[in-house]
Structure 1
Amino acid sequence: MRIFVTGASGWIGSSAVDELLADGHAITAIARSDASASALEAKGVSVQRGDLDDLDGLRRGADSAEAVLHLANKHDFSNPAVSNAAERAAVQTISDTLAGTGRPFLLASGVAGLAAGRPGTEDDPSPAHGPESPRGGAENLALEYVDRGVHVVSLRFAPTVHGAGDHGFIAAIAAAARRHGVSGYPGDGANRWAAVHRSDAGRLVALGLAKAPAGARLHAVAEEGVTTREIAEALGRALDLPVASIAPDDVPGHFGWIGTFFGMDLPATSAATQQLLGWTPSGPTLVEDIDAGAYSAHPAG
């Protein structure tokens, strides 16, 4: 199958591309930089230069493909409105291009806000509606196109897709620990984060393309919920730092932009996804990765 991919050189995208290539698919991917283009071409990926703001490029790539995998996101946490607007525009453009074709459109989403006081499930609809909502309400926007002849599949990734080389959320929490000389957790540390290893997330993407029905919401979740205190304790061991509770009022100053997310309770399950796809996560747990040194030498950039 000819697949058009955004975010192919990213943390999750590079793993997903490896899985898709191993399954025999031909991939064309957007690349913003020379370095990304070279890395993709070395894998045998055809490169289309551009970015998420190049809507004509997205339209052209989607139109020429048999399936689209959208994993790119600006992740501008200092100006989320910019990221949300870009995400909505990209999803709208791809969806409009694929309308009436029956082609697969898989897009990245998350598990935040699915449920209060319990783990989120695949049956829980995203609460994000409209352009002002997180990710520009892109998941719900895309799913509206199921009735317009697009085979939409939402890929909901755990808040931490972890592994050696990760520069994402856990790396940012580790960087805060280094800055302050203490590995902190918000409040009582009881809030939970779902987690999945990068290799398991990449395989889920490939299985989702092969097996998921239109309208499916898949959960890339291996661990239902690791407490923020457990995360802080593991980082404390790995970085040889003391561990301490951070008072709610001090969380923004201690953690920076990641503090808002680290203070959230974000558990989720993937039982339905595992049954549907025959997907069994087998990578290291989050704490195992931290204990093995995955975040000991990778400050967030």
Structure 2
Amino acid sequence: MRVFVTGASGWIGSAVVPLLIGAGHQVVGLARSDASAATLASAGAEAVRGTLDDLDILRGTAAASDGVIHLAFKHDIAFSGDFRGAAEADRRGVQAIAEALAGTGRPFVIASGTPAEPGRVATEGDGHGLGPAQAAGPQGRAATSEWVLSLTSRGVRSSVVRLPRTVHGDGDPGFIAALVRIARDKGVSGYFGDGTNRWPAVHRLDAAHLFHLALEKAPAGSTLHAVADEGVPLRDIAEVIGRHLNVPVAPVSPEAAAEHFAWLASILAADQPASNTLTRELMGWQPTQPGLIADLDKDHYFG
């Protein structure tokens, strides 16, 4: 297949692209810069210059492809406080791609996040039924995912791969790397409250494998969980960080969390375990890479 990948040079995309090429697919990646285009070329992919705001480019490239994997998201503005703006840009981009795929039966796989279900482990059956009201709020990205699933009625083999809070590995630019930086700067490896809140996690290579599987064989309307660790307690994460940095490990009260963790505080406040049982059964997906604690215990997070 000729596969259009947005976010192709990003954290997960850079693992997805070689898998697709190794399986015999031709990859066309969206590149925001010359550097991204060069990275894609060196991986054996074709680059098309553009961003999520270039709707005609998204529409045209999708129309010329046999399938699309959508990984791009404006994380820079989302993490600076404008999550709504990032979600709206994402929705516009997704709609442009969907216009090109309608009626073709081609696969359209997008990334989203696992839901948080207070008091229990979230499953692939949770987090559905979001409507227009949620699309304009904090759940905007999830509402876009729901809309993508509805594209089955318009002749698109759409599926959603939900990612956990932590997608880890060598070079991780995400939440775990941020916790390491905070611990180094503060001189203490803190955990929120009593440290029992849990984070689901997956190694980026295992996540990439699930995107590849979804492209090739996910049934239309599938919701998949790229989850390897169902839920790792925050205290366990803090203890590994503290040991490697040789700093004390200590609780941070909810009242002091915003000052200590900054933008991460609200994310750490939620218990967010997630299951992958239905995904394993449906797709035959089996994570093979190290779990979060084993990976965190390696030197690459502390170099």
TM-score (norm 2): 0.95
The residue aligned with 1:278 is 284
Choose from 82, 87, 98 the match for 2:85.
82
Choose from 206, 222, 231 the match for 1:225.
231
The letter of the residue matching 2:100 is T
Choose from 114, 123, 126 the match for 1:124.
126
The residue aligned with 1:159 is 165
Offset at residue 128 of structure 1 (A): 4.6
Q: Please tell me whether the aligned partners of residues 92 and 141 of structure 1 are also in contact (alpha carbons under 8 angstroms).
A: no
The residue aligned with 1:31 is 31
d(CA) in 2 for partners of 1:135, 1:161? 21
Change in Cα spacing, 1:127 to 1:144, as seen in structure 2 (3 Å) is closer
The residue aligned with 1:8 is 8
Offset at residue 158 of structure 1 (A): 1.1
Q: CA RMSD in A?
A: 1.2
Q: Please tell me whether the aligned partners of residues 28 and 45 of structure 1 are also in contact (alpha carbons under 8 angstroms).
A: yes
- 1:185-244: CA deviations, max 9, x gaps? 110111101111111111111111122100000110001000111111111112211111
Offset at residue 116 of structure 1 (A): 2.0
How many equivalent pairs are there? 296
Choose from 191, 202, 208 the match for 1:185.
191
The residue aligned with 1:66 is 66
d(CA) in 1 for partners of 2:246, 2:70? 39
Choose from 196, 204, 209 the match for 1:198.
204
Is 1:100 equivalent to 2:103 in the alignment? Answer: yes
d(CA) in 1 for partners of 2:300, 2:147? 36
Q: Please tell me whether the aligned partners of residues 7 and 70 of structure 2 are also in contact (alpha carbons under 8 angstroms).
A: yes
Query: What secondary structure, in the 3-state scheme, does the structure 1 residue paired with 2:125 have?
Result: coil
d(CA) in 2 for partners of 1:282, 1:31? 30
d(CA) in 2 for partners of 1:211, 1:89? 26
The letter of the residue matching 1:91 is V
Query: What secondary structure, in the 3-state scheme, does the structure 1 residue paired with 2:85 have?
Result: helix
Which deviates more from structure 2 when the two are superposed, residues 255-264 or residues 121-130?
121-130
Offset at residue 127 of structure 1 (A): 6.1
- 1:113-166: CA deviations, max 9, x gaps? 3x2211111122346543313344210111121111111110101110101110
Choose from 209, 227, 234 the match for 2:240.
234
Offset at residue 295 of structure 1 (A): 1.5
Structure 1: 4+ residue segments shifted above 6 A: none
The residue aligned with 2:254 is 248
d(CA) in 2 for partners of 1:69, 1:242? 42
Percentage of matched positions with identical amino acids: 48
d(CA) in 1 for partners of 2:111, 2:198? 21
d(CA) in 2 for partners of 1:207, 1:238? 36
Query: What secondary structure, in the 3-state scheme, does the structure 1 residue paired with 2:301 have?
Result: coil
List alignment gaps of at least 5 residues for structure 2: none
The letter of the residue matching 1:81 is R
Offset at residue 294 of structure 1 (A): 2.9
Query: What secondary structure, in the 3-state scheme, does the structure 1 residue paired with 2:145 have?
Result: helix
- 1:78-107: CA deviations, max 9, x gaps? 211211111111111111221111110000
Which deviates more from structure 2 when the two are superposed, residues 124-133 or residues 262-271?
124-133
Is 1:168 equivalent to 2:181 in the alignment? Answer: no
d(CA) in 2 for partners of 1:175, 1:204? 30
